[in-house]
């Protein structure tokens, strides 16, 4: 019954308890690790041609060039003046964001309801057990036939990945709720399922759901890149395309961009969560 | 015990498990008068908790009937407040919001609910911690909030399932005194399950010993001495030894890991 999320809530043996907070990390050590990484990279890169491994400086300069070189993003008849890097980033976001929202938007409520309702769960769980092990990318064939491999197709693949992660996070969150929470609520006058969901089940499993969404945010970027290997425009497509012409500095510049974007979305979500549940 | 407010009328409880039928309780027949304070003691797995859950309406008897004021218990009700051993406060709610839970569900007028929450928190001595989260409180304070929350819908009956067993001795004794005080002031009818015989004798009008397999009422000891009771006095000790003796002589057949396994 003691999941990680619950563990932060439950009091320890006796005495006063405070919510565990992340200990501030040592900035010096982090900096030292980073410098060490770049020195090592540089040393290795110096011994080989740049189409095998470019130096950090070459990658950084390619990154800055791509970030500043003007390019145009065309959406239907609209033309937006952006830069090389921001154009592909925007293209990726055009399937990343809808895919993420649809996956999370379906996964969280379905996971909650199936976790809560034993009867519904019995109907659905055979299908769930059958579909769950299928990796999102395995749906590609079906998706190409039905919607093609543009933004919509990639969005569908992303949504499948985000769906399962959020679904099981919500489902598990409900399953791990202490039975006493429900029983106390009943003894305090909760009689219908809707009130129980609203007052106990949803707030009680919120930490699990948040963890699921956060995992989805990261995993969805990985799925985006994989889906773009099949030809959807975006940052993953560019990583492969540039590597095929041995422009390894460009390819790695886009990898760097991807890392930064992932980091940014994770920080943004954690910030959002702090605002929602302080 | 005179007029019966709570009645267990020849109640038995069996569970169907994968290993077969487990008989938890059998032939339970006793009553509690309005305003009474009764404790249930006995070995683990003897059916104490099941006895309480039947009155709470969280389980239904296999045979027989549990009645409150003449009406059969068919499910949980805000008229029977419940306090568990574990801190079951909702961690996403503040202390005041936890106490307010039943009032929100019952759609009480918000201003009235505010006043009631304030009253309840001062009753348990926590008016200055209204805005705190449960995890910021000590174990004893969490228990107080749990009791205040159970009292919010003004139940006639308070059900306590080993409420103080995870507290240190000093905290437990001060909470026992406060519970007694609340009971005196509010006139609730209390059924408490405990594994501490001293606690049962200190607080209750009568102590029911439940043990055996299936659990039966082995003995009911009426405690006739003035409150507050001092465990060190000569009038107190005989009750404790009598109850302990009963448990020692009859508890050997009780098997653990049965109906209490949910907790």
- CA of B99: which chain A residue's CA is closest? A188
Long-range contacts of A1-9 (CB under 8 A, 24+ apart): A1/A176, A1/A178, A3/A172, A3/A173, A3/A176, A3/A208, A5/A173, A5/A176, A5/A207, A5/A208, A5/A211, A6/A176, A6/A178, A6/A207, A8/A207, A9/A207, A9/B91, A9/B134, A9/B135
In this prediction, residue A24 carries a pLDDT of 55
CA B28, CA A63: separation in Å to the nearest integer?
Answer: 79
User: How far away is chain A from the Cα of B96, in angstroms, using its nearest Cα?
Assistant: 15
In chain B, residues with a C-beta closer than 8 Å to the C-beta of A9 are 91, 134-135
- pLDDT exceeds cutoff 60 at B32: yes
In chain A, residues with a C-beta closer than 8 Å to the C-beta of B133 are 19
* Residue-wise pLDDT tens digits, B62-100: 999 999 999 999 999 999 999 988 768 999 999 999 999
* Residues B118, B42 contacting (CB under 8 angstroms): no
Which of A8, A11, A18 to mutate against chain B (most B CBs within 10 Å)?
Answer: A11
- pLDDT exceeds cutoff 50 at A4: no
- CA of A196: which chain B residue's CA is closest? B105
pLDDT more than 90, % of chain A:
67
Question: Which residue in A15, A184, A185 is closest to B138 by CB distance?
Answer: A15
* Residue-wise pLDDT tens digits, B196-214: 888 998 999 999 998 888 8
Which of B84, B126, B161 to mutate against chain A (most A CBs within 10 Å)?
Answer: B84
- CA of B154: which chain A residue's CA is closest? A188
In chain B, residues with a C-beta closer than 8 Å to the C-beta of A199 are 101, 104-105
Long-range contacts of A48-55 (CB under 8 A, 24+ apart): A50/A248, A50/A249, A51/A246, A51/A247, A51/A248, A52/A248, A53/A248, A54/A248, A54/A249, A54/A252
Say whether residue A273 is in contact with chain B using an 8 A CB cutoff: no
* Residue-wise pLDDT tens digits, B6-18: 999 999 999 888 8
CA A179, CA B85: separation in Å to the nearest integer?
Answer: 13
Question: Which residue in A179, A187, A200 is closest to B56 by CB distance?
Answer: A187
C-alpha distances out from residue B82 to A240, A260, B46, B78, B224, Å: 62, 51, 20, 9, 27
Find, among B152, B147, B153, B173, the residue nearest to B85 by Cα: B147
Residues A255-264 have a mean pLDDT of: 92
Question: Which residue in A14, A18, A181 is closest to B135 by CB distance?
Answer: A18
In chain B, residues with a C-beta closer than 8 Å to the C-beta of A204 are 90, 92
Q: Which of residues 104-123 of B touch A (CB under 8 A)?
A: 104-106
Beta-carbon separation of B105 and A188 below 8 A: yes
Question: Which residue in B77, B88, B168 is closest to A184 by CB distance?
Answer: B88
In chain B, residues with a C-beta closer than 8 Å to the C-beta of A188 are 78, 81, 101-102, 105, 149-150, 152-153
Long-range contacts of A269-276 (CB under 8 A, 24+ apart): A269/A213, A269/A214, A269/A217, A270/A214, A273/A210, A273/A214
CA atoms within 13 A on the CB side of B55: 35
- pLDDT exceeds cutoff 50 at B185: yes
The ipTM (two decimal places) reads 0.86
- pLDDT exceeds cutoff 90 at A149: no
Beta-carbon separation of B152 and A184 below 8 A: no
In chain B, residues with a C-beta closer than 8 Å to the C-beta of A192 are none
* Residue-wise pLDDT tens digits, B151-182: 999 999 999 999 988 888 889 888 999 999 99
Residues A19-31 have a mean pLDDT of: 67
In this prediction, residue A162 carries a pLDDT of 95
Using DSSP, state whether A232 is helix, strand or coil.
coil
Q: In angstroms, how far is CA A143 from the centroid of its own chain?
A: 21
Say how many C-beta atoms besides its own lie within 10 A of residue A274's C-beta: 9
In this prediction, residue A278 carries a pLDDT of 54
* Residue-wise pLDDT tens digits, B117-150: 999 999 999 989 999 999 999 988 999 999 999 9
Find, among B90, B163, B162, the residue nearest to B124 by Cα: B163
Phi and psi at residue A72, in whole multiples of 5°?
Answer: -115, 130
- pLDDT exceeds cutoff 50 at B259: no
Q: What is the reported pTM? A: 0.81
- CA of A181: which chain B residue's CA is closest? B88
- pLDDT exceeds cutoff 80 at A13: no
In this prediction, residue A21 carries a pLDDT of 46
In this prediction, residue A142 carries a pLDDT of 92
* Residue-wise pLDDT tens digits, A97-113: 999 999 999 999 999 99
Residues A117-125 have a mean pLDDT of: 92
Say whether residue A126 is in contact with chain B using an 8 A CB cutoff: no
Q: Helices (DSSP H) in chain A: which residue ranges?
A: 4-7, 27-45, 56-68, 84-116, 118-131, 140-147, 151-175, 179-187, 193-196, 202-228, 235-244, 248-276
In this prediction, residue B260 carries a pLDDT of 38
Residues A241-248 have a mean pLDDT of: 91
User: How far away is chain A from the Cα of B253, in angstroms, using its nearest Cα?
Assistant: 29
- CA of A178: which chain B residue's CA is closest? B88
In this prediction, residue A45 carries a pLDDT of 93
């Amino acid at each position: 019954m003691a999941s990680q999320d619950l563990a932060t809530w439950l009091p320890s043996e006796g005495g006063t308890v405070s919510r565990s907070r992340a200990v501030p990390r040592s900035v010096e050590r982090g900096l030292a690790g980073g410098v060490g990484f770049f020195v090592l990279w540089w040393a290795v890169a110096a011994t080989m041609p740049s189409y095998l491994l470019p130096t950090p400086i070459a990658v950084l300069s390619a990154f800055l060039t791509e970030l500043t070189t003007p390019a145009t993003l065309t959406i239907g008849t609209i033309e937006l003046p952006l830069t090389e890097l921001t154009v592909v980033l925007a293209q990726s976001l055009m399937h990343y964001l809808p895919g993420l929202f649809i996956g999370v938007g379906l996964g969280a409520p379905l996971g909650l309801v199936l976790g809560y309702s034993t009867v519904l769960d019995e109907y659905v769980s055979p299908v769930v057990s059958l579909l769950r092990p299928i990796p999102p990318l395995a749906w590609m064939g079906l998706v190409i036939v039905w919607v093609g491999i543009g933004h919509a197709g990639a969005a569908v693949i992303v949504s499948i990945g985000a769906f399962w992660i959020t679904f099981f996070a919500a489902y598990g969150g409900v399953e791990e709720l202490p039975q006493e929470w429900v029983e106390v609520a009943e003894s305090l006058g909760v009689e219908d399922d809707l009130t129980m969901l609203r007052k106990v089940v949803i707030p009680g499993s919120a930490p699990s759901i948040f963890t699921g969404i956060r995992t989805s945010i990261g995993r969805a970027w990985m799925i985006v890149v994989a889906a773009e290997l099949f030809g959807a425009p975006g940052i993953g497509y560019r990583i492969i395309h540039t590597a095929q012409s041995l422009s390894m500095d460009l390819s790695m510049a886009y990898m760097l961009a991807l890392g930064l974007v992932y980091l940014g979305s994770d920080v943004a979500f954690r910030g959002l969560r702090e605002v929602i549940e302080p | 015990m005179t007029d019966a407010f709570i009645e267990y009328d020849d109640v038995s409880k069996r569970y169907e498990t994968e290993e077969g039928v487990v008989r938890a309780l059998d032939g339970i027949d006793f009553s509690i008068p309005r305003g009474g304070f009764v404790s249930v003691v006995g070995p683990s797995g003897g059916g104490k908790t099941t006895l309480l859950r039947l009155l709470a309406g969280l389980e239904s008897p296999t045979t027989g009937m549990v009645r409150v004021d003449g009406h059969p218990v068919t499910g949980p009700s805000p008229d029977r407040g419940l306090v568990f051993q574990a801190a079951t406060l909702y961690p996403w709610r503040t202390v005041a919001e936890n106490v307010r839970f039943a009032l929100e569900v019952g759609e009480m007028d918000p201003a009235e609910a505010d006043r009631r929450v304030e009253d309840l928190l001062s009753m348990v001595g926590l008016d200055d911690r209204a805005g705190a989260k449960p995890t910021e409180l000590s174990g004893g304070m969490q228990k107080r909030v749990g009791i205040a929350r159970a009292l919010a819908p003004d139940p006639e009956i308070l059900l306590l399932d080993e409420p103080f067993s995870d507290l240190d001795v000093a905290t437990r004794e001060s909470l026992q005194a406060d519970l007694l005080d609340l009971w005196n002031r509010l006139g609730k009818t209390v059924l408490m399950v405990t594994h501490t015989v001293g606690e049962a004798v200190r607080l209750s009008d009568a102590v029911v010993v439940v043990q055996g397999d299936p659990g039966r009422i082995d003995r009911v000891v009426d405690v006739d001495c003035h409150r507050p009771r001092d465990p060190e006095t000569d009038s107190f000790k005989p009750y404790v030894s009598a109850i302990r003796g009963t448990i020692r002589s009859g508890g050997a057949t009780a098997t653990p890991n049965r109906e209490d396994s949910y907790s």
